[in-house]
Amino acid sequence: MRAEFVAFRRRTEGKLAGWAAGAVVVSLLLGVLAFLDMHSRQGQLDDAVERRAALTAAALDIYRRFADADASSLDAVLVNPERAAVLRQRHREAVFDATDALREAAARDPGGSSADRVKQLTDLVPEYVRLVETGWLNTLAGQPVGTSYLAQASFLVRDRILTTAQDLYREQTNMLAAAQRAAGHPAWPTFTAGVLAVVVLVAAQRFVTRRTRRRVNLGLAAATLLTLIAMAWPATVLVVVADQADDSATVRDDVVAPLAEARNLGRAADGDEARLLIFPRLGDINRLRTNLDSIEKHIDDARKHADQDGVRDEIDEAADALRSWREADKELLQDEQDEQDEPRPILTYREVAELITGIPENSTESYATQLDQHLTSAIDQYTDRAATDTASARETLAGLDAVLACLAVLAGGAAVAGLWPRIAEYYR
């Protein structure tokens, strides 16, 4: 049997059968690699659209809500009873929204990389709420210990909750960007398998030409064309996917990230003002001034890359709110060098409280809140754009894995169909 097989392989029909088998093998190899590669990219973008983007948004919301809760809890002890009730309600709503965002994050990544941080944050919420509510209760009763409880709550937020939320946001942002960009990388395994398939098909065509004197074998020609299509199609699609994914990642890096950082610093600065009166520490004024300077820098960085008129308007409005905020705090922020030229006026406790918590004329919100609202609107619009770009990249790849697998199978079938009549000629 072995001798007969060896003899068959040495004859022309045996060699033609070998070329047919080789064409089928390389075509199937191309189909399998293309299918697995495209399917993996689709999975990465599915994860980016359905999980990573949601986790990133949740992490960003967690930070903002807890920072807002911190500022509101402190402002509530500096204003009149009517506004205090509003601020206490705002604080509770912020904590509720932060808890809701934590549930969303836990549901999106149970047991995943973010699970530990989400659990840490969730475990800290009851203690934070207890400290704030106890602090308010004692403050309303005129007990000085109330400020001590509020101080502990503020330190808990700033030293642990906000730090952990920031780490969660950065982790998810990096993973989201990596998933987006990886989906558009060149498909080298598929390209290599395609080149190998073309080499085998061209070699088979040359063999047929030499042995049968037929210049073109239609089956092999069709198989070669189908293979070239299977190589060119994903290459073209991946250029589009890479552009869409890169645009999404760039929007998050160049616009959303600085705006989010500006918003975070804005809520921190709002809380810093209240801390100046409730439990002042050395360097509080410099810290507040530095935060406001950093907010301005982040807004300017984002404005350079903002290319949507509506969003640019929101960013400009945020910059205006920041300038008004700084102007309102001018006396509070005056440094020692300024005092040499113009002595700092001596302000009473109530005057400083009014300066910190006051609402400008013709407005219902403080400058800090206006800044937060405009930044949030810009962040939401650009986050939606980034999510749309990622979803578009996923739609571009939809079904491509199955199409490429079909092309490869058709290529193998065309090669066999082209060679089979030549093999059959030797058995007539």
Chain-centre distance of CA 274, in angstroms? Answer: 33
Q: 34 pLDDT exceeds 70?
A: yes
Q: Is the pTM for the entire model greater than 0.85?
A: no
Helices (H) and strands (E) in the chain, counts: 17, 0
Q: Residue 229: what pLDDT? A: 92
Say if residues 362 and 324 touch (Cβ distance below 8 Å).
Answer: no
Structure tokens belonging to residue 136: 């308010």
In this predicted structure, which of 17-21, 202-206, 342-346 has the lowest mean pLDDT? 342-346
pLDDT in tens, 55-76: 888 888 999 899 889 988 888 8
Per residue in 261-282, pLDDT (tens digit) is 999 888 888 888 877 777 777 7
Q: Is the pLDDT of residue 161 over 90?
A: yes
Report the C-alpha gap between 195 and 27 in whole angstroms.
11
- How long a stretch of residues is the chain? 428
pLDDT of residue 186: 81
142 conformational bin, left if phi > 0, alpha if psi -120 to 50, beta if neither: left
pLDDT for res 337: 43
Distance CA 14, CA 155 (A): 82
User: Which helix or strand (DSSP H or E) is residue 395 part of?
Assistant: helix 367-397
Mean pLDDT of 99-122: 86
Closest CA to 336 of 277, 289, 273: 289
Q: How far is CA 291 from CA 39, 136, 163, 300, in A?
A: 46, 27, 16, 14
Q: 128 lies in which domain range?
A: 2-427
How many domains does one find in the chain? 1
* C-alpha–C-alpha distance, residues 428 and 419, integer Å: 15
What is the mean pLDDT of the segment spanning 329-356? Answer: 60
Q: What is the pLDDT averaged over residues 204-210?
A: 84
Assess contact for 73 and 153: CB atoms under 8 A: yes
Task: Give dist(CA 34, CA 22) in Å, integer.
Answer: 18
* Of the candidates 120, 122, 140, 91, the residue with the CA atom closest to the CA atom of residue 271: 91
CA angle, 82 then 64 then 285, to 5°: 75
Q: How far apart are CA 63 and CA 169, in angstroms?
A: 8
